[in-house]
Amino acid sequence: MATVLFCPVTFNLAETTRMIQVARALASEHDPVFLGYEPDYADLVRDAGFDYRACRPSWSKPQRDQAIAFDQGKSLRNPFTTELVSARVAIERHLVRETGARAMVTGSNLTSFISARAEGIPLVYPVPYALTDAQVSAARRMGFVAGDGAVARIVDRMATAAFRWVYTSAPLAPRAFTRVAKANGVAPLRTVGSLLTADHNLLTEMPWELEGVDLPDGFERVGPIFAHIDAPIPPIVETLAADTTPLIYLALGSSSSRALALTLARALGTLPVNVVAPIRQYLEPGDVLPGNVYVTDLLPAHRLGGLVDAAVTHGGQGTVQTSCATGVPFVGMGLQPEQTWHVKACAARGNAIALSPKAAGTPALLAAVRRVLVDPAIRRAADEVRAGYEGADGASATARIIERSLAG
């Protein structure tokens, strides 16, 4: 038996649930242990039956927002002080030794990239393709500039080249990581790319999303990994699904905002549809929503196929993959480059419509929702994508790679 230490960012819903799926897929002789610094989704780990270690120091809400913006390439400002990075690395190294962990699995918990190396154990990183070193190093256009005209293409290529240099060459990793890496006997992590590259970088994509892509050493495709929350379908969802009125699923994950949640819910409420919306975390007492918008807690979205007619999402990979796997066509509004990449990939496939978040309260959103509800071509594409997802299991593929690493 071997212990595997999982280090998700536990205020990130998709990342936490992705780790849970991988831990579930490990052979029974292995012992998954989770650590986390924030309490937001720690109960999902405990409810799944895994050993969870609550650790400190944790972040305030502004620090979390800053860390997310840094991770998504939106800002070079970050909350990673030398004191925080040093403390977290010390905690993680202590847990490796205390549990006897022989491998570490991370998401965007960046201190893991020092801790695992310092302890000499393999670091496994299940991650979307977009914004990885594999994509940034190879992409001619990353879509920073919208449009297909000649000027837009040229400007986007220039922006992509500049971003590539910043990501792969510029010594812009937070200085705390260089200092703490040196203090722990690890080669300095100077670039953003080096800070986000593990021993095993496992891309959670479908084959067609990486068609024609030559992956560098250390990267391989494993397939989709998305949440399977162990909860019953609420009675209100079943009641609404039995009605003849179309049912829309509004899913905004953990990286959206109160303003967007309210705008979308109120806009959808003007349509002749019903809406189930697990957006309670974004609302405040006194917020008023239309009567056809039903706010819920987190839903077992992997079981909504055949119950909802369409979805409106923020474009997070887990939400997108759940829609694909259940055959639900959707309108996606990526809030950052990785999300935009996945929504556009589905739009090209035909099972989704991609919009800018700026369209949230406009007629463009309403027109897109009407179209995904009635366009037979989008429905056929959604059925074809669902069929393509059958048998795809990135969690099991990741677990087998971890086990091979343990055996080696």
Q: Which residues of 103-139 are buried (b: 16+ CB within 10 A; e: fewer)?
A: bbbbbbbbbbbbbbbbbebbbbbbbbbbbbbbbbeeb
Cα diameter, the chain: 64
User: Rounded to whole angstroms, what are the CA distances from 304 to 85, 232, 238, 371?
Assistant: 40, 11, 10, 20
Stretch 49-66: mean pLDDT: 90
Pair of tokens at residue 222 = 């494993």
Residue 64: which pLDDT band, with cuts at 50, 70 and 90? confident
Residue 66 has pLDDT above 90, yes or no: no
Helices (H), 72-195: 82-99, 112-119, 133-138, 150-168, 175-183, 192-195
Q: pLDDT: is 191 or 37 the higher one?
A: 37
Whether 208 shows a pLDDT value over 70: the answer reads yes
> pLDDT per residue over 281-333, tens digit each?
999 999 999 999 999 999 999 999 999 999 999 999 999 999 999 999 999 99
In CATH, the number for domain 3-223+393-407 is 3.40.50.2000
How far apart CA 372 and CA 312 sit, in angstroms, is 10
Residue 74: left (phi > 0), alpha (psi -120 to 50), or beta?
Answer: alpha
Domain ranges of the chain: 3-223+393-407, 235-389
Give the strand order in the sheet containing 51-54.
51-54, 31-36, 3-7, 101-106, 123-127, 200-203, 219-221
Please answer whether residues 335 and 357 qualify as being in contact, where contact means their C-beta atoms are separated by less than 8 angstroms: yes
Are 118 and 182 in contact, with CB atoms under 8 Å apart? no
The values of phi and psi at residue 250, to 5°, are: -100, 110
Contact 140, 155 (CB under 8 A): no
What phi, psi does 121 have (nearest 5°)? -115, 150
Residues 259, 256, 56: CA angle, nearest 5 degrees: 120
3-class SS at 277?
A: strand
Binned at pLDDT 50, 70 and 90, residue 164 comes out as confident
Region 331-354 average pLDDT: 94
* 3 state SS of 294: strand
Partners of 101 in the β-ladder: 3
pLDDT digits (tens, 9 = 90+) for 210-257: 999 999 999 999 999 999 998 899 999 999 999 999 999 999 988 889
Q: Which of 116-120's residues contact partners 24+ apart within 8 Å by CB, and which partners? A: 116/198, 116/199, 117/181, 117/186, 117/187, 118/89, 118/93, 118/184, 118/185, 118/186, 119/93
The yes-or-no verdict on residue 369 having pLDDT over 70 is: yes
Does domain 235-389 sit in CATH 3.30.420.40? no
CA torsion angle 129 333 106 205 (round to 10): -30
- pLDDT of res. 326: 98
Answer yes or no: pTM beyond 0.85: yes
Q: Residue 206 — pLDDT band, cuts 50, 70, 90?
A: very high
Question: What phi and psi, each to the nearest 5 degrees, are found at residue 97?
Answer: -75, -40
Q: What is the pLDDT at residue 403?
A: 97
CA dist 6 and 329 (Å) reads: 33
Q: How far apart are the first and last CA of the chain?
A: 14
**DSSP, res 102:** E
The half-sphere exposure of 245 on its side-chain side, counting CA atoms within 13 A, is 14
pLDDT over 80 at 74, yes or no: no
Predicted confidence at residue 33, as pLDDT, reads 98
Q: For the chain, what is the mean pLDDT?
A: 93
Domains 3-223+393-407 and 235-389 share a fold: yes
- Percentage with pLDDT > 90 across the chain: 78
Give the pLDDT confidence of 95-131 residue by residue, as tens digits: 999 999 999 999 889 999 999 999 999 999 999 999 8
Could you tell me which residue, 375 or 194, shows the higher pLDDT? 375
Question: Using an 8 Å Cβ cutoff, are 189 and 114 in contact?
Answer: yes
- The pLDDT of 355-384, averaged and rounded, is 97
